[in-house]
Amino acid sequence: MFIRFWGLIRALILSPFFLKIGFPSYICKPLAIYRPKGISIGKKVRIQPGARMETHNNGRIEIHDDVSIGQNFHVTSGGNENLVIGKKTTILGNVFVTNIDHDYRKIGQHILKQPFIISKTEIGENCFIGYGACIQAGTILGKQCIVGANAVVRGIFPDYCVIVGVPAKIIKKYNPETNIWERV
């Protein structure tokens, strides 16, 4: 309760620096932020300690209402594509989400000095992202997708599926006709 109280106070203090922070959201410290004016946080968002949020080159991060984010979360967005985390999503600790790839094709030039490759990245509503997962640029998760621990995810995934592995693959889908999660 004490941590939430100070997290709520921190969100109030930080709100002028962000594009938007809805209330009652709370943000625990430590927090690393780069260009917070590109970050929009909805109502009832809970961000645990160690978050790192970055926007580059007009990038935007949209975290919708009622999202729970675990410790050591890292999210980075660049270019003109919004990185979206849908409402009622749960993200466990040590998760990385991005819409940026680094170009590497120019031989002899440092990779960090090469341009970003930006791809649309969206996490649908009511998703569950397991501990240590990496959601890479160009990933679109439908509604209520479950991503397994330590999965490395890239691609487009439909609503109601379970995604695991490196590289991540669908192992189950919800069948609305039988009301059962079925193996693929």
Q: Consecutive 10-residue runs of the chain (184 residues): their mean pLDDT? A: 78 90 92 94 96 95 98 95 96 98 94 93 98 98 98 98 98 95 94
Q: 0.75 cut: is pTM over it?
A: yes
What local confidence, expressed as pLDDT, does residue 7 receive? 83
Distances in Å between the Cα of 29 and the Cα atoms of 8, 21, 52, 66, 124 are: 11, 16, 10, 19, 27
Residues whose CB falls within 8 Å of the CB of residue 108, separated by 6 or more in sequence, listed in order:
none
* pLDDT value, residue 13: 86
Tell me what pLDDT residue 153 has.
98
Q: Do residues 125 and 64 lie in contact, with contact meaning Cβ atoms separated by under 8 Å? A: yes
Residues 6+ apart with CB under 8 A from 102: 111, 112, 114, 116, 117
> Are residues 116 and 103 in contact, defined by beta-carbon separation less than 8 angstroms?
yes
Q: Which residues, in sequence order, are CB contacts of 80 under 8 Å at separation 6+?
A: 58, 118
Which domains, and CATH codes, for the chain?
A: 2-102+110-183 (2.160.10.10)
- Sequence-distant (6+) residues with CB within 8 A of 22 are 41, 42, 43, 44, 45, 65
**Helix (H) / strand (E) containing 90:** strand 90-91
